[in-house]
Amino acid sequence: MRADTPTAELYSTLERLRAAWQANKPGYAQRRDDLRRLRAALKRRLDEMARTIALDFGHRSLDESRIADGMTVLNDIDHLVRHLRGWMKPRRVGVGWRFLPARAQLRPVPLGVVGVIAPWNYPVNLALVPLATAIAAGNHACLKPSEHTPHTSAFLRELLAEVFPADRVAVATGGAEVGAAFAALPFDHLVFTGSTAVGRKVMAAAAPNLAPLTLELGGKSPALVCDDYPIDKAAARIATGKWFNGGQTCIAPDYVLVPAGKRDALVEALRGEVRARYGADFDNPGDYTRIINERQYARLQGCLDDARQRGIDIVTLGGSADPAQRLLPPTVLLEPGDDARVMQEEIFGPLLPVRSYRTLDEAIACINRRDRPLALYPFSHDRARIERILHDTVAGGVAVNDTLLHFAIAGLPFGGVGASGMGACHGRAGFDAMSKLLPVLWQARRSGADLLRPPYSKAKWLIDLIVR
């Protein structure tokens, strides 16, 4: 496996990418060709990709990798290619009657070099989607994959070297020291996906350069089950969202709010989902992803230890923990208080707090006491109730009566708000974020504005007209 990138090389790499971009800014044909070649290279190596990610996790469902790190990237690239020509065109903007016959437009122009800092939980998806978007917008790019997935980082370096020349896309690998130096580079735009705590450090590192940022962070994303929604169906969809990738998903349901009289039924329905998915006694956990490393496993065990000390009921839904494999089974924690660790920090694992509520007002207040979440999952067939929840809360994104899937819709912007992030990726929103929407005014041969000059007494009639 290749050695880490020396920090001394990072700035010269950025300068090489920028000089090449300045000399030959990518047009439509090159952008489209780059995206198609990236898609073909990844599609050809999907099985290898899934096996490589599994090496980093110890065990990760190959099918979940094909879905989350394969399908989503292919889908986003398809969307970019399909819409690229239209997005690149200048967009007409009305000037208003006072400035006629001038005309105006917004012209999407590339920024230069985009930096991408990717996390470990979806190490291909969250590296290649922003990188592909940067390419679509006409930029060159530099990727910093996570040091916690070294095999996947090597795979990405090899894949991208196969597709792109070295002066168009570069990859920097290494630990925290390399990551800190990377974030401090004067990129024309920087995309970071990861925790809120690290996001603050990235923002501080980028501040001296005034580098524009897209921060995709996390937080405590709630599922709110209303009393009209079938408990079995809610349990099935929450189980998918929570235990996909072993709960190591920034938009996984982080806690569930359920009507008080239906709490125990929800827990039993969740137990049934675990039994159906992973075996009667969790004896077939082949499709269940392990925790990424010892540090994360110990952190999650610390959350459970804290809950035990507080007397919180802990319900293991199948099997038992196996530290040797870093296997932590799906676990529900009943009625944790706001002071419990599982309610203080993003869980990022298979632990699911379940809290009961008496009124919808109480449930909404519980959500609004916390930082604005990256995702919100309301479950109800009552449209008025859903509209009320959407009106009374603020979240980065919403999936009504489901979980996770809004992320996979390429046409929907994906991003947080406040502590859960800033800016957005995916589709046109990402394309626009990695472009400069250049305002251009085209003045006519003859313009009334030519009369607006001293002595103003000669243009009094025109001034009276435009200030009416």
Among all residues, which ones are annotated catalytic?
216, 250
CB 121 within 8 A of CB 248: yes
Radius of gyration of the chain (CA): 25
Length of the chain: 468
Chain centroid to CA 138: 21
C-alpha span between 379 and 259 (Å, rounded): 12
- Contacting residues for 138 by C-beta, under 8 A, at least 6 apart: 25, 26, 27, 31, 88, 109, 110, 435
CA dist 329 and 345 (Å) reads 20
The DSSP code sequence of 163-189 is HS-TTTEEE---SHHHHHHHHTS--SE
Q: Residue type for 39, please?
A: R
What does each C-alpha distance from 418 to 273, 392, 401 come to in angstroms? 34, 16, 24
CA–CA separation, 31 vs 33, rounded Å? 5
- Rounded CA-CA distance 275/269 in Å is 10
Give the type of residue at 392.
D
- What distance in Å separates the CA atoms of residue 126 and residue 214, rounded to the nearest whole number? 13
Strand partners, 108: 437
DSSP-derived 3-state class of residue 368: helix
